[in-house]
Chain A
Amino acid sequence: MPKLVNLTINHTRVTVPEGTLIVDAAKEAGINIPVFCYHPKMEPVGMCRMCLVDVARPVIDRATGQPVLEADGAPKLSFGPKLETACTTPVSEGMLVVEDSPKVTAARKDILEFLLTSHPLDCPICDKGGECPLQNLTLGYGPTESRFDFADKLHHAKRVPLGELIFLDRERCIQCGRCVRFQEKIAGDPVIGFYQRGRKLEIQTQTQPGFDSIFSGNTSDICPVGALTTADFRFGARPWEMEAHPSICAQCAVGCNIVFNTKREARSEGGMAIKRVMPRQNEAVNEIWLCDKGRFGYHYLQSGERLTRPMIRQNGELVPVSWETATDTIVERLKTGRSGLTVLAGGRLANEDLFNLKRLADAEHGKTLFYTHMGGGDLTGQVGLAPGSNLATLGKGDAVLVVASDLHEEAPIWWLRLKQAAARGASLVVLNPRATRLDDFAAISQRYHYGRVMDALAALFAGEAGQVLSQAANLVIFFGSEGLGVDGSQAVAQACANLLIRTGHTGRPNNGLVGVWSEPNAQGAWELGYRPAKNLTAELAEAHVTLVAGADPAGDDPALAETLQQSEFLVVADLFMTETAKRANVVLPALPYSEREGSFTSGERRVQRFTAALPPREKAHTEAMIAARVAARLGLKIEESLPVVFEKLAAETPAFTGLSFDRLAETHPQKPLLSREDLYYSGTAYENTAGLGCTLALTGSPAEAEPVTPELPAPVENALLAVPITRLYDRSSTLVHSSSILGQRMIGAEVWLNPQDAAERGLSAGAEIEIHLKSANWPVKVVINADVPAGAALLPRSVGIPAFELAALEI
């Protein structure tokens, strides 16, 4: 516990930990000291000089070391010769900070006048107008008339694309450097910097392609003026016109808290539209940051290609019908079906959908299958993170192991959080077949050959790293699916779970196993009892009525497409006409999570609630509603109302005991304190008023078990080893319909080869070739990457090439 220091700010007595900066101490006391360059997530630089305050300190008698007292017994205070910057000055005992005196007010006016001398004052057309710290502070302290000649104003480029996502308006920039520092210190991507000096100082991108970072959007939040705007939101709306709807990002398993800003507009034919995604503070999840996929990848939600009406197959064609007809068709089939309903659900469905579908399947003597490329979720349910966990509190003495995952690509915010944990002193151990961006911060980084992960884990545990992990005060293990299928990742998870159990790192906060899932609610599916099929093809072939929801097996794998083509009766609920939907007997339009409420369970086992940002646009229903409607027609009672469904779920699922939508909506004060009142303090991220979510309880008593290691593919002469990997800007069904905003970053069908392997085969980068995999040929583009181990051919998932586990690949 740090020492506490007492001071007075204006007339308010404040007690804060030693080392606190005046600006933060004032914030605690409800006093907002204006800043531009300071940001509570970054070290102070004292550049903008906006936060000047008058500081007095007790006079100490040099002879005695005691404070000198006034006649009335109060300590004698002495003001410094100059005003001091509140953002760089730490508090000290007995200090008096005056920030409301005429002297301080005059200083603020002085600085503001300086800042405005070269500012274009184009608030009426500025995206930041309405939530702009400079605009707000100008209202507070700015001069009404300019003493600076308008003709003397410098004019600069107003539309400088730093990259394809972020534009710089050089006239508006006040050179506070927040963006530069964010990229360097927080994002770890020092891709922008200052150029020139004095009044010519400007921000430049220093990479090709420009602003090459997956966290670039955050700079537009923390920019205290309208200098940095996103290509997505630029001239899209005025901040005050928009509504703010709390939600959860659905692009990966981290569960970043977001706000959908929406607005009614002509372009959406008078309907409401999402104009932008903003971070919502949750210091236990994403703090106030988002990755660019989360920020810019939402366009699929309002795509014109979304399914709008139920359809049934008549004479070989899918034709639109009413919900009643569609439901009747399904119910009829279920009534006459020989045995039950097979539900195949993906991790994009909300907890409520999964729960209702499971109840329907259970009632119909059916089964529920989880559509995933990765196993181990049964273990994360037993030895996952316990309530009270927060990666932000990992530090010295703690350890984190990351196995078979490129976190920077698969879960950027987790990568960010582990980078910070390492900076705080946590020992980071990385075990992956190729270099990843996590290696930079790793205490120990080891490689293994694809296919040899179990041996590598055993060796790691037996060696120095094993010591570090076993002896750590807290241990978190992230496991992924780099080069692994369901069985392979299941085996890795088991080995990791065994270590956690063996070393006593279970059942406590900040200890446990985390699966690096690709979907927002994969963990939820596991928690609710969904399991991957041992043999999906066989299960689908045998099923009588199959309901596929939030998954596109036919699009992922031609073999499954073939099986589904032969389905006895296939029902698909989805947002889009997927390859699977094309083979369905009944297609049901589902509601995207932006148009409904519900909850997701993150990889950290935090259940978080999202709300409807837009009214349901089409004649679509939630999967939970679909299940309830079908059930009703079968004479079963399944709840429709999502809060009620969740209550039922909580009552029947031990890990969810005691949870309700109301509980998920609870908040408590977080630091840094954020509000829309003083945007200059930490930017335009939203404060969290809609709920911080709850981490699921751990149930059951975990026990070690022997991992079942899948066999390696038989070696084929001259063949490479096909290795599935997960990339950030992939084409999984969420992003495939996204707008062009992320277009140039999206991956296509490609194979990554080691330079040596490529040279031996006479392949150059960018070459378009065909690969032979699983008895079929696939057109791909060659990517040459020195980090790819010799003999491996990396195949990004989600581009339609059926690489699910290691396999022989010929070129």
Chain B
Amino acid sequence: MSDMAMLNSGAENPVDEMVLLRHRNIPDIDQLSVYLSNGGFAAFEKAVREWAPAKVTEEVKASGLRGRGGAGFPTGMKWSFLPDKIWPHYVVANADESEPGTFKDREIMEKNPYQFLEGLMIAAYAVQAGTAYIYLRGEFWPVAQKLDACIAELERAGLLGSNLLGSSYSLRLYTHLGAGAYVCGEESALLESLEGKMGQPRLRPPFPAVAGLYNKPTLINNVETLTNLPPIIKNGAAWYRGFGTEKSPGVKIFSLSGRVKRPGNYELPLGATFRHLIYDLGGGIPGGRPIKAIMPAGASSSLIKASDVALDTAMDYEAVATLGSTLGSASVIVLDDTVNMKWLLQKTLAFFRHESCGKCTPCREGTYWMSLIADRMASGKGRSDDAALLGSVAGQIKGKCLCPLGEFSLTAVQTALSLFPEDFAA
């Protein structure tokens, strides 16, 4: 925890405790009584009792919080897109967490569930939704079990249900398990799945904010995004802006994995460097081997070729973009010099082939084809023109897919081919 204290750069914010992963400071915070005795639901109470819904939205806008699911869209602005002439509104927590290398939401939900639920409740209050859903990937059934127990506890405690805290506001929460499909993390496919249909993305427009769940205005936020809300409401936007950078304020959980000594979730202010995460916190590469590349956003990353410049780059939405990549959900996968890019592409493409929903042609056929080529190359049966063919097929998919998943399938391919041509030499 000393690392955290050191990293919280702003001297006026000498925070030595976690904002999101509070269970690391406070034992048993997954018990309602413990959560309550540590200030739990004070933010929700403040919102419902003292603040108009619009004020909650304004405060979140002011905090500069951006979506932690990967896109980094300003959260408060997203909330304000819900039209106030169409009712009911719905809120959905995106707990699908399917990006390979991402495991932050799971830790939040398992260890600090009430803060997440309180955040969801604050969001629901802000858009005046009477029903909110938590959409979990199918493999998260033990998490769903835990959340359901928490929801029951909240209902017993009178924190969920009708006329909450003496107000006219009523709210119910429900968990919903998907069937385990990556594409259901894409919000419109998630809504289809939540409606009981096949998990395939919808055409956009209309956007979910206008026509989402059951064709009604729907707010969809990632678990981590929502978990930021209680401290923001409790401590104020200015406090939150004390963390991170001007354009990427706040804290973020980085899921570190790959060739590092100490993989795991690390809560840091946005703007911390790759070097700090990988070497100071993650303990560096086993055996002291040289780092080769970084995938900052899981399997859908554009690869970053390791260099001093890259390692000293701040991990925020803007700085990572200067490296030709994206911060995404901040699932940092470290690759060392033992990793051959043929092997890497074989793995990522097998994933995308498996997860393509099949709705649109370029993704369905393209991921299948790319995966075949990558298999061939990785097994040593590649042909001299396979790398060129792979690049060509990737380019052929680019810009033509129905949803972002198809585009994600080729980012690693294109960057691996351009940054590490030596790995593909026949």
Chain A residues near B (Cβ < 8 Å): 44-50, 52, 81-83, 88, 107, 110-111, 113-115, 117-118, 147-149, 152, 174-175, 193-194, 196-201
Whether the pair B372, A47 counts as a contact (CB closer than 8 A) is: no
Query: Contact check: which of A48, A81, A147, A149 meets B360 at CB < 8 Å?
Result: A48
Measured in the bound complex, the distance between the Cα atoms of B304 and A597 in whole Å is: 75
Highest count of chain A CB atoms <10 Å: which of B360, B367, B389: B360
B425 cross-chain contacts in A, Cβ below 8 A: none
CB distance from B351 to the nearest CB of A (A): 11
Measured in the bound complex, the distance between the Cα atoms of B260 and A583 in whole Å is: 97
Whether the pair B203, A45 counts as a contact (CB closer than 8 A) is: yes
Q: Is B353 an interface residue (CB 8 A)?
A: yes
Residues 397 to 417 of chain B near chain A (Cβ within 8 Å): 399-402
Query: Contact check: which of B353, B357, B389, B400 meets A147 at CB < 8 Å?
Result: B389
A175 cross-chain contacts in B, Cβ below 8 A: 358-359, 361, 364
Highest count of chain B CB atoms <10 Å: which of A49, A149, A193, A196: A49
B186 cross-chain contacts in A, Cβ below 8 A: none
B358 cross-chain contacts in A, Cβ below 8 A: 175, 194, 196-201
Q: Is B369 an interface residue (CB 8 A)?
A: yes
Q: Is B396 an interface residue (CB 8 A)?
A: yes
Measured in the bound complex, the distance between the Cα atoms of B367 and A201 in whole Å is: 14
Chain B residues near A (Cβ < 8 Å): 181, 183, 198-199, 203, 353-362, 364-369, 372, 389, 392, 396, 399-402
* Chain B residue nearest to A175 in the complex (CB): B358
Measured in the bound complex, the distance between the Cα atoms of B369 and A201 in whole Å is: 15
Measured in the bound complex, the distance between the Cα atoms of B154 and A362 in whole Å is: 89
CB distance from A336 to the nearest CB of B (A): 76
B400 cross-chain contacts in A, Cβ below 8 A: 49, 52, 82-83, 107, 110-111
The list of the 4 closest CB pairs from A to B, nearest first, reads A201-B358, A114-B365, A198-B356, A110-B396
Measured in the bound complex, the distance between the Cα atoms of B366 and A114 in whole Å is: 7
Could you list 25 examples of A-B contacts with CB < 8 Å?
A: A46-B203, A49-B360, A49-B400, A49-B401, A50-B361, A83-B399, A107-B400, A111-B362, A114-B362, A114-B369, A117-B365, A117-B368, A118-B368, A147-B389, A149-B372, A152-B372, A193-B198, A197-B183, A197-B199, A197-B356, A197-B358, A198-B356, A199-B358, A200-B358, A201-B364
CB distance from B18 to the nearest CB of A (A): 38
* Chain A residue nearest to B407 in the complex (CB): A82
A47 cross-chain contacts in B, Cβ below 8 A: 359-361, 402
Measured in the bound complex, the distance between the Cα atoms of B201 and A47 in whole Å is: 10
A174 cross-chain contacts in B, Cβ below 8 A: 361
Whether the pair A198, B361 counts as a contact (CB closer than 8 A) is: no
A49 cross-chain contacts in B, Cβ below 8 A: 360-362, 400-402
* Chain A residue nearest to B356 in the complex (CB): A198
Measured in the bound complex, the distance between the Cα atoms of B203 and A52 in whole Å is: 14
CB distance from B204 to the nearest CB of A (A): 9
B389 cross-chain contacts in A, Cβ below 8 A: 147
Whether the pair A198, B362 counts as a contact (CB closer than 8 A) is: no
Whether the pair A111, B361 counts as a contact (CB closer than 8 A) is: yes
* Chain B residue nearest to A177 in the complex (CB): B359
* Chain A residue nearest to B357 in the complex (CB): A197
A196 cross-chain contacts in B, Cβ below 8 A: 358
Measured in the bound complex, the distance between the Cα atoms of B374 and A152 in whole Å is: 13
* Chain B residue nearest to A195 in the complex (CB): B198
Query: Contact check: which of A48, A82, A197 meets B361 at CB < 8 Å?
Result: A48
B396 cross-chain contacts in A, Cβ below 8 A: 110, 113-114
Q: B interface, by DSSP: helix, strand, loop or mixed?
A: helix
| 18 additional A-B residue pairs with CB within 8 Å, beyond A46-B203, A50-B361 | A45-B203, A47-B360, A47-B402, A49-B360, A82-B400, A83-B399, A110-B362, A111-B361, A111-B362, A114-B396, A118-B368, A152-B372, A174-B361, A196-B358, A197-B198, A198-B353, A198-B356, A198-B358
B367 cross-chain contacts in A, Cβ below 8 A: 198
A117 cross-chain contacts in B, Cβ below 8 A: 365, 368-369
Measured in the bound complex, the distance between the Cα atoms of B362 and A175 in whole Å is: 12
Whether the pair A198, B364 counts as a contact (CB closer than 8 A) is: yes
B401 cross-chain contacts in A, Cβ below 8 A: 49
CB distance from A235 to the nearest CB of B (A): 28
Whether the pair B362, A88 counts as a contact (CB closer than 8 A) is: no
A198 and B360 in contact, given A46-B402, A110-B400 (Cβ under 8 angstroms): no
* Chain A residue nearest to B365 in the complex (CB): A114
Whether the pair A198, B368 counts as a contact (CB closer than 8 A) is: yes
Query: Contact check: which of B181, B203, B361, B369 meets A148 at CB < 8 Å?
Result: B369
CB distance from B407 to the nearest CB of A (A): 10
A88 and B368 in contact, given A83-B400, A198-B354 (Cβ under 8 angstroms): no
B372 cross-chain contacts in A, Cβ below 8 A: 149, 152
Whether the pair A199, B353 counts as a contact (CB closer than 8 A) is: yes
* Chain B residue nearest to A82 in the complex (CB): B399
* Chain A residue nearest to B400 in the complex (CB): A49
Whether the pair A44, B203 counts as a contact (CB closer than 8 A) is: yes
Highest count of chain A CB atoms <10 Å: which of B199, B203, B354, B357: B203
Highest count of chain B CB atoms <10 Å: which of A47, A83, A197: A197
* Chain B residue nearest to A149 in the complex (CB): B372
Measured in the bound complex, the distance between the Cα atoms of B203 and A175 in whole Å is: 17
CB distance from B400 to the nearest CB of A (A): 5
Measured in the bound complex, the distance between the Cα atoms of B361 and A201 in whole Å is: 11
B198 cross-chain contacts in A, Cβ below 8 A: 193-194, 197
Measured in the bound complex, the distance between the Cα atoms of B367 and A113 in whole Å is: 13
A201 cross-chain contacts in B, Cβ below 8 A: 357-358, 364
B203 cross-chain contacts in A, Cβ below 8 A: 44-46, 88
Whether the pair B360, A118 counts as a contact (CB closer than 8 A) is: no
* Chain B residue nearest to A196 in the complex (CB): B358
* Chain A residue nearest to B395 in the complex (CB): A110
CB distance from B352 to the nearest CB of A (A): 9
Measured in the bound complex, the distance between the Cα atoms of B371 and A199 in whole Å is: 12
* Chain A residue nearest to B369 in the complex (CB): A117
Measured in the bound complex, the distance between the Cα atoms of B363 and A197 in whole Å is: 11
Measured in the bound complex, the distance between the Cα atoms of B85 and A62 in whole Å is: 26
B366 cross-chain contacts in A, Cβ below 8 A: 114
Measured in the bound complex, the distance between the Cα atoms of B359 and A801 in whole Å is: 52
CB distance from B199 to the nearest CB of A (A): 8
* Chain A residue nearest to B363 in the complex (CB): A198
CB distance from A196 to the nearest CB of B (A): 8
* Chain A residue nearest to B402 in the complex (CB): A46
Measured in the bound complex, the distance between the Cα atoms of B367 and A196 in whole Å is: 16
A118 and B365 in contact, given A198-B357, A199-B358 (Cβ under 8 angstroms): yes
A44 cross-chain contacts in B, Cβ below 8 A: 203
* Chain B residue nearest to A90 in the complex (CB): B205
B359 cross-chain contacts in A, Cβ below 8 A: 47, 175
A199 cross-chain contacts in B, Cβ below 8 A: 353, 356, 358, 364-365, 368
Whether the pair B402, A198 counts as a contact (CB closer than 8 A) is: no
CB distance from B374 to the nearest CB of A (A): 12
CB distance from B396 to the nearest CB of A (A): 4
Measured in the bound complex, the distance between the Cα atoms of B398 and A83 in whole Å is: 10
B360 cross-chain contacts in A, Cβ below 8 A: 46-49
Highest count of chain A CB atoms <10 Å: which of B183, B355, B361, B365: B361
Measured in the bound complex, the distance between the Cα atoms of B357 and A47 in whole Å is: 11
Highest count of chain B CB atoms <10 Å: which of A88, A113, A198, A201: A198
B199 cross-chain contacts in A, Cβ below 8 A: 197
CB distance from A334 to the nearest CB of B (A): 70
B364 cross-chain contacts in A, Cβ below 8 A: 114, 175, 198-199, 201
CB distance from A152 to the nearest CB of B (A): 5
B361 cross-chain contacts in A, Cβ below 8 A: 47-50, 111, 114-115, 174-175
Measured in the bound complex, the distance between the Cα atoms of B199 and A149 in whole Å is: 30
Measured in the bound complex, the distance between the Cα atoms of B389 and A149 in whole Å is: 12
